[in-house]
Amino acid sequence: MARRRAIVAIGGMTLAAAALAASGWCMVGPGEVAVVRRFGRALSPAWGPGLHWSLPAGIDHVERIRTDAVRRITIGQAGTPTPDQEPSAGELMTGDRNLLRFEATVQYRVGDPIDHALWAGRGNQWLGRAAESRLAGALARREVDAVLRSDRGRIAQEVRDELQAAADSLRLGVRILGVSLTDVRPPVEVAADFAEAQSAESRRDDRINRARTYEAVEQTTALARGTSIRESARAESTRILVAARAEADQFLALLGEFRRSPALSLRRRYIESAQELLGRVRRKLVLPPGQSVDLTILGAIAPARVPTAAPRPDDRDVPRASTVRGAR
């Protein structure tokens, strides 16, 4: 009887030990890690996805943390504060002493699960307060017009960088993905005045943009006109230069001919000049038989220097033409 009781006791203890050992198995799913704290001390490294065994009976405390999830913290209050909030909730002051009501969202992921687990859930609270503090500093460095219009992207980037540096210094184990200002507006009491001021600034900016556009168009047109004038002048100068060179070459050719045969060259020029001048005459002159007209065009040349040649029938006919015809 005693032996049977001993066997039953041993069997029960064995079953209890097996059940206790079986309770230590831990399954870690995809996209998460398990941080094990043994007697309060975190074990490194954290367990990845798969089946793991931990010490039972409360010796090991296993905390599962998702590392692929994007977490969000909303700070500020864009609308009217609720009864359980302070009247000034969500209000910050800009550098030119204007109050703005804001709402921002911080997105982050867990980067170091062990550091994040050691904060025991207080990391989100601290992260929200730190984000609000950095945002207040960014707004205090700017005027209200810049906050409402042009600097919202730069403000979000500054807050993100400063918040990441603060989280790293405190070993929160988070990686800040981004900070976005979802809403920034003046208080309701002065919203109409702010809207009128922004409308006036929009009209001013529109006029400035139109003036700049007009300036750019006029400048482009003037540059094009200047380029056209320069090209025309360059083409005209080239034409004049080519013509001058052609005339100089022609003159040099005539000079060479004159030096080789002065009398013949002078007579040739006389005949060509007479043909050119007679071609411009618009009237006809009919001479009676036996009369002549002086067609000498070299009056400035002394008679002794006028080239002479042996009389020929055609030479005598040149100054005694009976009919001179000109083109109309």
Across the range 244-271, mean pLDDT stands at 86
In the predicted model, what is the mean pLDDT of residues 158-179?
90
- Beta carbons within 10 angstroms of residue 265's beta carbon: 17
Most confidently modeled range among 85-89, 91-95, 156-160: 156-160
Instruction: Report if residue 265 sits inside a domain.
Output: no
pLDDT tens column, 219-239: 999 999 999 999 999 999 999
221 inside domain: no
**With bands split at pLDDT 50, 70 and 90, how would you rate the model's confidence at 170?**
confident
pLDDT of residue 324: 37
- 227, two tokens: 């380029």
Average pLDDT, the chain: 77
Nearest in space to 295 (alpha carbons), one of 323, 320, 316: 320
The verdict on residue 301 lying in a domain is no
* Tens digit of each residue's pLDDT (9 = 90 or more) over 272-302: 887 777 777 766 666 777 776 665 554 444 4
Residue 91 and residue 119 share a domain: yes
Average pLDDT over residues 140-167: 88
* Same domain as 143, residue 79: yes
Residues 39 and 95 reside in one and the same domain: no
Last-in-domain residue among 186, 204, 219: 186
Q: Which range in 3-12, 141-150, 154-163, 180-189 is most confidently predicted, on average pLDDT?
A: 154-163
Q: Which of 47, 67, 87 is the last residue of a domain?
A: 67
Question: Are residue 90 and residue 177 in the same domain, yes or no?
Answer: yes
Instruction: Decide if 45 is inside a domain.
Output: yes
For 59-82, how does the pLDDT look when each residue is reduced to its tens digit (9 = 90+)? 777 778 888 888 898 888 766 666
Task: Give the pair of three-digit tokens for residue 215.
Answer: 């300036």
Provide the pLDDT for residue 195. 76
Residue 93 located in a structural domain = yes
CATH number of the domain that residue 94 is part of: 3.30.479.30
Of 186, 203, 222, the position where a domain reaches its end is 186
List 52's β-bridge partners, or say none.
Answer: 26
Same domain, 115 and 100: yes
What's the structural domain count of the chain? 2
Residues 134 and 89 in one domain: yes
Tell me whether residue 266 is in a domain. no
**Which stretch of DSSP H or E encloses residue 108?**
strand 99-110
Q: Looking at the structure, do residues 160 and 177 belong to the same domain, yes or no?
A: yes
Residue 239 pLDDT = 94
Could you count the other beta carbons within 10 Å of the beta carbon of residue 144?
Answer: 20
- Distance, in Å, from the CA atom of 307 to the CA atom of 289, rounded to the nearest integer, reads 27
Whether 76 and 179 share a structural domain: yes
Domain range spanning residue 172? 71-186
Instruction: Answer whether residue 27 is part of any domain.
Output: yes
Are residue 47 and residue 130 in the same domain, yes or no? Answer: no
Q: Are 34 and 81 within one domain?
A: no
Q: Residue 316: pLDDT above 50? A: no
**Which residue pairs from 169-172 have beta carbons closer than 8 angstroms and sit at least 24 positions apart in sequence?**
170/126, 171/112, 171/115, 171/118, 172/115, 172/116, 172/119, 172/123, 172/126, 172/127
Tell me the pLDDT band of 31, cut-offs 50, 70 and 90: confident
**Residue 143, in any domain of the structure:** yes
Question: According to DSSP H, which parts of 187-321 are helical?
Answer: 191-260, 262-278, 313-317
pLDDT digits (tens, 9 = 90+) for 138-148: 988 988 888 88
